[in-house]
Structure 1
Amino acid sequence: MRRKTLFGIALMAVLSLVLAACGGGGDDKGKEKAKEGGKDYGVKFVSIATGGTGGTYYPLGGNFANLIKDATGIESNAVTSGASAENMALIQKEEVEVAFTQTDIATYATEGTNMFKEKVDNLKGLGTLYPETIQIVTTEKSGIKSVEDLKGKTVSVGESGSGTLANAEQILEAYGMTLDDVKARNLSFDDSTTGIQDGTIDAAFITAGTPTGAVEGLAATEKVVIVPLEDDKIDALIEKYPYYAKETIKEGTYNAKSDINTVAVQAMLVVRSDLSDDLVYDMTKAIYENTDKIGHAKGEQISAENALNGMAIDIHPGAKKYFDEKGISAENK
């Protein structure tokens, strides 16, 4: 009798463990869903590929990561990188979920042109952000006043594979020059401004939202000069490369005594195409409906109303759903 009782108790214990195991997974999943705002997004972490610490992408990425985490409950962070072109490779390898890039670089990536030997076929747009100004940075003591003056000089043209490098090549081309006409160095924004300051380089191409932190730091100790582009060269650039737009760096920026004419492309966010519609919708909403919480000057230029301007690649269905609900559309989408 005692044996039967013990056997019954043991059998009940085993059944309890089996039931707990079956139900426990559901409870854990339920807790995970609750943490993620009640939705199963299919990912437990969101990494945002940005750029170097001296640019605009990195601090903005940190702000976006916080907004995404607050809205979805998913752990999110910003990671440094070589910026635009490298970020497309990170998306292709599925090493990140979200990435900053320039609209021109996103176009090259989806087409498999320029620096891309093959198409990045898992790339979709989330939204555009603000103008990325092409700044040719030097100092008064360098004597460089025009693009032609760069000939023979040591010039940082952006990191290998970066959007800045493509911009440098195209601007030099507009002036009948190539990278062979300068002593090209492939440096980050921080290393570029440090090089200008210590005299190891003469000038640097920097494509970033203005004011750019690295250039502001240089302007604190040196008389910074931003080399202007002539109107006819700007028109020629825009005619050949329609993703460019005329841009003016306002008087007072980096202590400039007058406005400076140049060109810009749009900064944008892209996502992996395999991310769920719900996740991309909630990320898009979190960013564009909380621009007042973006702790960076560029937050003032980011808006849902302008988020499809310059969007030259396909939009992720989750982002499209958000913009459709807001009544926002792009002419080519």
Structure 2
Amino acid sequence: MKKNWLSPLALIFALLLLLAACGGGDDGSDDGEAAGDPSTDPEMIQIATGGTSGTYYPLGGEMASIISDNTDVSADAISSNASAENVMSIENGDIDVAFVQTDVVAHAVEGINAFDEPVEHVYAMGSLYPETVQIVTTDGSGIESVEDLEGKAVSVGAPGSGTYINAEQILEVHGLTMDDINAQNLDFGESTGGIQDGNIDAAFITSGTPTGAVEGLSATVDVAIIPIAQDKIDEIVEAYPYYAPDTVEEGTYGLSEDVETVAVLAMLAVSDSLSEDLVYDMTKALYENAEGMAHEKASFITLDNALDGIGIDLHPGAEKYFNEEGIELEN
């Protein structure tokens, strides 16, 4: 009788296909790639914030205390050059958690603007509060509109920072570029100091209001916030959907009336090297204890706002917590 030599080969091939199919059906494989191993979680995490005169730094200090008191890790808030630097610090493994603007981290994931290539190790933990684009000057400056900035010495933040990108986009909508102003790359404290000393005429400051540096300036001079006209607000929001209309309210910095402008959102980003369990615990601790924080912006840190403006993937630990609370990220 003639032997059938193809049958054993066919059997082996079928077994290989079966094993491959079983391996590909692991529902937890995607989450495993986005979260670290609990055995490698650090005992101390660092939260990168921003300059000491902005909103990130003091708020980050309160968050570090909450994490230290309610999880198995200790946390410490450190100052930094804010959003763009913070994103790269997470990507490079230098930082565990960081404050970032929603627009900046979206650019980072896409690999556009200040980012030469997409980042791969940065995930969202949750939204925090609106970050208002404040174009700060003094009552006696003669600057009453964005168009009036042409030819003036204006602080626009560090190149690639969230503030810098906001300034660039707002100038663009008003028919201006960085070449049309005398752009100065100053942090918030240097910006308000420059306005007070008369070395610069105005400054873009993207931060939660009231911002400490601007409050300090208002104690020595009459502060003015340059408004953005409604048609330009509409144009900005249409061109860049991560912006939203916002108002610097009467009484802030001694203002005599509301000033219309735009805002992006502040959020927390986290490294994929941290485990699902740790990020779950940190997310839960922050959103369930935010009402006990003293900072004015803490009132915005609620589950209702937790996923606003987020355009990148959630860390599996944060996603687990929010899913338990009945809220999901809409992409």
1:186 matches 2:175: no
Q: Any residues of structure 2 matched to 1:94-109 within 5 Å, and which?
A: 94-109=93-108
60-69 or 41-50: bigger deviation: 41-50
Quick one: distance in 1 between partners of 2:107 and 2:273?
A: 20
Quick one: distance in 2 between partners of 1:67 and 1:122?
A: 25
Q: Any residues of structure 2 matched to 1:129-144 within 5 Å, and which?
A: 129-144=128-143
Unmatched runs of 5 consecutive residues or more in structure 2: 1-37
1:139-196 Cα shifts (integer Å, max 9, x gaps): 0121111111111110000122210000000000000000000000000000000000
Structure 2 partner of 1:3:
none
With the length of structure 1 as denominator, give the TM-score of the two structures: 0.87
Using the TM superposition, give the Cα deviation of residue 288 of structure 1 relative to its aligned residue in structure 2, in angstroms. 0.3
Using the TM superposition, give the Cα deviation of residue 235 of structure 1 relative to its aligned residue in structure 2, in angstroms. 0.5
Give the 3-state SS of the residue equivalent to 1:329 in structure 2: coil
Structure 2 partner of 1:167:
166
Structure 1 partner of 2:280:
281
Q: Give runs of ≥4 in structure 1 deviating > 3 Å.
A: none
Quick one: distance in 2 between partners of 1:227 and 1:42?
A: 46
1:110-150 Cα shifts (integer Å, max 9, x gaps): 11001100111101000000000000000012111111111
Q: Which amino acid aligns with 2:228?
A: L
1:1-27 Cα shifts (integer Å, max 9, x gaps): xxxxxxxxxxxxxxxxxxxxxxxxxxx
Quick one: distance in 2 between partners of 1:41 and 1:319?
A: 18
1:20-41 Cα shifts (integer Å, max 9, x gaps): xxxxxxxxxxxxxxxxxxx857
Q: Which amino acid aligns with 1:105?
A: V
Q: Among the aligned pairs, what percent are the same residue? A: 58
Structure 1 partner of 2:82:
83
Using the TM superposition, give the Cα deviation of residue 72 of structure 1 relative to its aligned residue in structure 2, in angstroms. 1.6
CA contact (8 A) 2:113 2:160 kept: no
CA contact (8 A) 1:136 1:226 kept: yes
Quick one: distance in 1 between partners of 2:40 and 2:55?
A: 28
Structure 2 partner of 1:32:
none
Using the TM superposition, give the Cα deviation of residue 92 of structure 1 relative to its aligned residue in structure 2, in angstroms. 1.1
Q: Any residues of structure 2 matched to 1:1-333 within 5 Å, and which?
A: 42-332=41-331
With the length of structure 2 as denominator, give the TM-score of the two structures: 0.87
Give the 3-state SS of the residue equivalent to 2:123 in structure 1: strand
CA contact (8 A) 1:41 1:278 kept: no
Q: Which amino acid aligns with 2:229?
A: E
Q: Which amino acid aligns with 2:96?
A: E
Quick one: distance in 2 between partners of 1:49 and 1:120?
A: 17
Structure 2 partner of 1:6:
none
CA contact (8 A) 1:41 1:279 kept: no
Quick one: distance in 2 between partners of 1:164 and 1:255?
A: 23
CA contact (8 A) 1:84 1:101 kept: yes
